[in-house]
Amino acid sequence: MDLILPQPSERQKDFLRERHRFVAFGGARGGGKSFAVRMKAKLLCLAYPGIRVCIVRKTYPELKSNHIDALAAELASVAVYRSTSREFAFINGSRIFMRACRTDGELTKFQGTEYDVVFIDEATQFSEEAFRTISATVRGVNSFPKRVYLTCNPGGVGHGWVKRLFIDRRFKPGERPGDYSFIKSLVTDNPALALSDPDYAERLRALPPKLRRAWLEGDWDVFDGQFFEEFRDVPEHYGDRLFTHVIEPFEIPREWQIYRSYDFGYGKPFDVSWWAVDFDGRAYLILQLYGASSPNVGLKWTPDRQFEEIAKIEREHRWLKGKNIYGVADPSIWDSSRGDAIIDSAERRFISFEPGDNARIAGWMQCHYRLAFDGEGRPMVYFFNTCREAIRTLPLLVYSKTSPEDLDTDGEDHFADSFRYFCMSRPIAPRRAESAHERLPDDPLDLRVRYGKYVYS
Ligand SMILES: Nc1ncnc2c1ncn2[C@@H]1O[C@H](COP(=O)(O)OP(=O)(O)OP(=O)(O)O)[C@@H](O)[C@H]1O
Ligand SMILES: [Mg+2]
């Protein structure tokens, strides 16, 4: 029985050698963690005929695209995949079960099951209860190793418990410190990635410093404090370059496309933002109507009142009147489960909207990509200094305690949501974030050169 395995990286070798009861392989995205999971699973199956291994991920499509397709090809000579029972059966009797667990409600399917070794890929997407329940399946009266291997990126609902057990090592009664081991993976540990996807590190570099540190360097302490840390409302000079997001208003050329983004609120703030987009795709927040703080706009404006005001502004303002305005809004305004949908009120006034894409993390990434400065100090979004509520609220937002890559929704996030819907309606490719603050000590872009001749078999 011959199986040719590729060359593992040094960090992957550490992972393959690990024998603790609980092993977390964590850190940067793209560090080669899922790859190491498959390699370890294969090695265990070959070394221990009859062993029962399980690989868990949040959803079946992820399991398939990340693991099943790859394993089917890699194991063609030694195992068959049975799609009904979702398992790889080796000719020596070993088995790898592929299991998805989308919600804690699905945990019952793990009860009464026994495995020798379980891999939880992307463990930070699971709750602590899910981790406990899935780990409890590792038992059985045989001489096979009994272990739980986790892979994890900082962020996600499980950020807290993974950090507690493996980074901070703050144990509760009943948890034995000697059972837990952590291996930090960095994107720079995966030379194969630099070859197959040289833009990967570049995409990560387009993020603001904290997110970049979390994902590129695997730093677990960063999801704390200001969410839009890259936002510059006061200009900063670096040499002859000026970094700012806030500028003096100027006359908008008639040819520029105008967008309107809307976050609904009644009894809480609402936000209407008008954006002008130039021929390079650069956006300018030119006008804003915000339902709080400004003296003339009450919190208690009904939807009708809000849309009347929008219609009036668009009829009268010289930048907007006669223009074909593309609207995007909070998708909840289409909800008609409790009577008339709010969108009906808008449509009665001929104000049209498309439902905004509410994928939050992807949306925040788009906001970050737009805010990133290029080599000349130019972001892809500017804010006219007259849009006070945007400029006031954006820097106040902080990271969520429960969902670390998201922002804390207890904050005044109405403009931010509106900004996010706008960005998702015109997504841009990430650009290299350029800030004088942050030069990475070990620039991953050098990898391409350094590992230019890297080959593996
Ligand atoms: N030792 C290796 N030899 C060849 N290719 C590798 C090796 N390690 C990883 N790769 C490749 O590098 C890419 C990233 O690896 P992988 O998907 O395992 O990373 P990851 O840490 O799981 O990333 P993510 O955090 O995004 O889940 C994949 O294309 C994988 O096949
Ligand atoms: Mg992975």
What is the tens place of the pLDDT at every residue in 330-359? 999 999 887 889 999 999 999 999 999 999
Judge whether 128 and 120 are in contact, CB under 8 Å.
no
Q: Name residue, tokens 């059966």.
A: 89
138 has a pLDDT exceeding 50: yes
pLDDT at 128: 93
Residue 215: its pLDDT value, please? Answer: 78
Nearest CA to ligand 1 atom 12: 193
Q: Which ligand 1 atom sits closest to the C-alpha of 153?
A: 25
Is the pLDDT at 450 greater than 80? The verdict is no
Ligand nearest to the CA of 31: 1
Q: Whose CA is nearest to atom 5 of ligand 1?
A: 192
Distance between CA 125 and CA 229 in Å, rounded?
25
Q: What is the pLDDT of residue 2?
A: 60
Which tokens in the block code for residue 370? 């737009």
Alpha-carbon distance of 207 to 215, in angstroms, equals 9
Residue 243: pLDDT band with limits 50, 70, 90: confident
Nearest Cα residue to 16 out of 46, 52, 50 = 46
Report how far apart, in Å, the C-alpha atoms of 305 and of each of 33, 169, 436 are.
Answer: 53, 54, 46
CB atoms within 10 A of CB 238: 13
Digit-coded pLDDT (tens) for 3-47: 677 888 889 999 999 999 999 998 777 888 999 999 999 999 999
CA–centroid distance, residue 33 to ligand 1 (Å): 6
Contacts of 33 (CB under 8 A, 6+ apart): 15, 25, 26, 121, 151, 152, 185
Q: Are 133 and 107 in contact (CB under 8 A)?
A: yes
Confidence at 449, pLDDT banded by 50, 70, 90: very low
Q: Please state, in angstroms and as integers, the Cα–Cα distance from residue 234 to each residue in 228, 231, 285, 302, following that order.
A: 14, 9, 16, 35
* CA-closest candidate to residue 352, choices 381, 310, 388: 310
SS3 395: helix
Residue with the nearest Cα to atom 9 of ligand 1? 32
Q: How large a percentage of the chain has pLDDT more than 70? A: 92
pLDDT at residue 282 is higher than 70: yes
Task: Identify the residue whose C-alpha is closest to ligand 1 atom 4.
Answer: 192
| Ligand located closest to 29 CA | 1
What pLDDT, on a 0 to 100 scale, did the predictor assign at position 456? Answer: 22
Q: Is 88 helix (H, G, I), strand (E, B) or coil?
A: strand
pLDDT grade, residue 454 (50/70/90)?
very low
pLDDT digits (tens, 9 = 90+) for 221-237: 777 778 998 899 888 87
The listed range with the strongest mean pLDDT (53-57, 186-190, 293-297) is 53-57
Query: Nearest residue CA, atom 1 of ligand 1?
Result: 8
Which residues does ligand 1 sit against, CB inside 6 Å? 6-9, 12, 29-35, 153, 190, 192-193, 196, 456
pTM: predicted TM-score of the whole model, two decimal places: 0.68
- Ligand having the closest approach to the CA of 71: 1
285: pLDDT strictly greater than 90: yes
Structural domains in the chain, sorted by start: 10-185 (3.40.50.300), 236-425 (3.30.420.280)
Q: Provide the edge-to-edge strand list for the sheet that holds 325-329.
A: 246-247, 381-384, 283-290, 271-277, 257-263, 325-329, 354-355
